[in-house]
Amino acid sequence: MTKASPDVISRAGELRDLITEHNYQYYVLDDPGVPDAEYDRLFRELQELEAQYPDIVTPDSPTRRVGASAETTFEEVVHRIPMLSLDNAFSDEELRDFDRRVKDRLKTTDDIEYVCEPKLDGLAVSLHYESGILTRAATRGDGYTGEDITANIRTIPSVPLKLRGTNVPELVEVRGEVYMPRDGFEALNKRLADRGEKTFVNPRNAAAGSLRQKKPTVTARRPLEMCAYSVALEDESLLPATHWEGLQQVKDWGFRINPEMRKASGADACLQAYDELMDKRASLPYEIDGIVFKVNSLALQRQLGFVSRAPRWAIAQKFPAQEELTVIEDVEFQVGRTGAVTPVARLKPVFVGGVTVSNATLHNMDEIRRLDARIGDTVFVRRAGDVIPQVVKVVTERRPENARVVELPDACPVCQSDIVQIEGEVVARCSGGLFCPAQRKEAIRHYASRKALDIEGLGDKWIDILVDRELVNTVADLYLLKKADLTGLERMGEKSAGNLIDAIDRSRNPVLWKFIYALGIREVGEATAKALASHFGTLEAISEADEEALQSVPDVGPIVAGHIRSFFDQPHNQETIQALKAAGVQWQSEEITAAEKPLKGETWVLTGTLSDMTRDDAKAKLESLGAKVAGSVSKKTSCVVAGEAAGSKLTKAESLGVQVMDEQAFIDFLATHNIEP
């Protein structure tokens, strides 16, 4: 084995210091000092040096975080200084009682200064450093003995393997909470679910499970973080005067401390801190289950001492629980505005997350099968902040003999149309899109949108009013509206009513592809609607085509073909289409002669800003003449229409000798084909 030269040893030490400092800036200060690419370059350089010269590897090297291949043993560890638990307060009065007891024991009437710390919902750990190097990490356990998790702790980026600075005691213990941020928890559960593996109930459960992995390589892949909350020394004379100063010292050594920590004097200020943190709880990127109040003065802490297994100088005031046990009494299915059918658990009412919860989402049938949730089951229900309550776990040990399996209904509970679940899709949907009352507002909104039938003035507000007043139940009812129906509505005068009726009338003769798009068939966008219209020519031919025939159309695969077939198979949808015809809506056929498509086979490009029409309008006019409208210029481009501030596309067209029209020339060109701008 080649022995490392002094230069190599020096460079490796320099790299370790640089990487350690960058880790501190990134994980503790949230202020990266270098881009990720530069960090990666330094890390790779150190890896290569250590691979070439194994004798230079040190226990505190950042490369040692990735996790050893050997299994963790979880040997028993006896805490040199016990990790005591905290008493809890569950009300403002209990917190005031705690403050009174502190002042009574200290024989003072002065306000006591406390440090207010968010109570992170994770796993308490103890980290031992000798000469600044991490030598052992342990779980809290029963407060006196825990488990050795050193190999796993080393994988967490926010845990320093070597303490920063020069004022590091020979032997020091730093305590804190290992937790999993919300985003990391959700991503981890998604990965586990995608692989068909068991998911975690909550971030605390995920953090604990990740720390107790036998293989550190697994822990290294989990998004764990750590916040320090105290420092312990056998020689207390080395400690600063206050707990707050101790936290700042720990931060200087390279640990993250919680940015929400603050000082408060007296019970009223503590309760204010509680209320303000409670308000922020849902917006924090991590879970907290309360706030911890600690007497700031270490001298006063020593004077107050301990009782049983808890300190007299600290208390945790808990937030309302975010998880509770209850029973699924029934499962009902709700239909959303897009037709999605969602199972909802009707629960035995339970107080959770600060409110009484009687309903919780089960998301979809796949989730029900994953949970193996049945009517009658005892379940964990979770509510965090304003998040909709959800069932996260079933306690199968408590399942009664008469528990019932949940089945997806065949028909929509709102309109009785078929419920369809296309193979490969998670969500089941009601297929009565034009008729279903649960979907009517969304159906009308889409039908009237600019890219569909473009009914000017029929925005969300008026759709809500017309549907809520029961003036419009389906899109066909729009064409039955009279001016007198509208003038009595709030903020709808004679002129506005007349304008809306006129706009509805102008939509009676759409081109076929726009009408197909306006129907709101799932997965049928503009391009697919155009392809269907061009291929079949009439709506009747599309509605009668089987799935095999539909799949012969470009852009239409098995899933889209299934959606189209399901839509036209529903009698309610056919009835609404017939009602539209009866109301005078007549879509134009696509059976047009070649003479009416003078630009067929040509490719045009639009660039810049047009003043007399939108780009979408110009595109539609060109497509009506048979042209294909592309997004880039090439030698095959037939013509470029250049509006104001035309850029690189115009320059390229001129360099290739492609024909260019300004907006006025384009308007004149359209006029020769009887198309108004």
Residue with tokens 């056998």: 234
User: Is 111 annotated as a binding-site member?
Assistant: no
CA distance 251 to 264: 20
37 annotated ligand binder:
yes
Maximum C-alpha span of the chain: 102
Query: CA-based Rg of the chain, rounded to a whole angstrom?
Result: 34
Query: Is 94 assigned to a binding site?
Result: no
Please name which of 317, 251, 310, 254 lies closest in space to residue 99, comparing C-alpha atoms.
Answer: 317
Q: How many residues does the chain have?
A: 677
- Measure Cα distances from 3 to 14, 43, 49, 53, 315 in Å: 18, 21, 12, 7, 56
Q: Which phi and psi angles does 60 have, rounded to 5°?
A: -95, 10
State yes or no: 482 annotated in a binding site: no
Q: Give the three-class secondary structure for 562.
A: helix
Contact indicator for 181, 187 with CB cutoff of 8 Å = no
Integer Cα distance of 97 and 89 in angstroms: 9
Residue 401 among known ligand-binding residues: no
Q: Which of 584, 579, 440 has its CA nearest to residue 509?
A: 584
Burial letters 49-79, b for 16+ CB under 10 A, else e: bbeebeebeeebbbbbbebeeeebebeebeb
Please, are residues 640 and 650 in contact by the beta-carbon 8 Å criterion?
yes
CA pair distance 663, 667, nearest whole angstrom: 6
The verdict on whether residue 38 carries a ligand-binding annotation is yes
Please give the structure tokens belonging to residue 459: 């925005």
Q: Does 529 carry a binding-site annotation?
A: no
Going by C-alpha positions, the residue among 315, 367, 316 that lies closest to residue 344 is: 367
Q: Is 294 annotated as a binding-site member?
A: yes
436 annotated ligand binder: yes
Q: Kindly report the backbone phi and psi dihedral angles of residue 59, in degrees, each rounded to the nearest multiple of 5, phi listed first.
A: -60, -25
130 is in an annotated binding site: no
Task: At 403, give phi and psi (nearest 5°).
Answer: -60, 140
Q: Provide the 10 A C-beta neighbour count for residue 469.
A: 11
Told to judge if 214 belongs to the known catalytic residues of this protein, a careful annotator would answer: no
The catalytically annotated residue of 3, 107, 119, 162 is 119
> Does the annotation list 198 as a binding residue?
no
What's the CA gap between 540 and 577, in Å, rounded? 11
Q: Is 36 annotated as a binding residue?
A: yes
Contacts of range 560-567, beta carbons closer than 8 Å, 24 or more positions apart: 560/523, 560/524, 560/528, 562/420, 562/422, 562/423, 563/422, 563/521, 563/522, 563/523, 563/524, 564/521, 564/524, 564/532, 566/418, 566/420, 566/431, 567/431, 567/433, 567/519, 567/521, 567/522
SS (H, E, C) 184-226: HHHHHHHHHHHCCCCCCCCHHHHHHHHHCCCCHHHHHCCCCEE
- Element (H or E) spanning 416, and its range? none
Rounded Cα distance between 69 and 217, Å, is 7
117 is in an annotated binding site: yes
Surface-to-core class of residue 449, CB atoms within 10 Å of its CB (0-12 exposed, 13-18 middle, 19+ buried): middle
List Cα–Cα distances, 29 to 17, 19, 35, 53, 248, in angstroms. Answer: 17, 14, 15, 33, 12
Q: Which runs of E-coded beta strand occur in 27-122?
A: 76-78, 87-89, 113-120
The pair of three-digit structure tokens given for residue 102, joined into one six-digit string: 């502190």
Indicate which residues carry an active-site annotation: 119
Question: Which residues sit in the known binding site?
Answer: 36-40, 85-86, 117, 140, 177, 294, 318, 412, 415, 436
Question: Which residues sit in the known binding site for Zn(2+)?
Answer: 412, 415, 436
Question: Which residues sit in the known binding site for NAD(+)?
Answer: 36-40, 85-86, 117, 140, 177, 294, 318
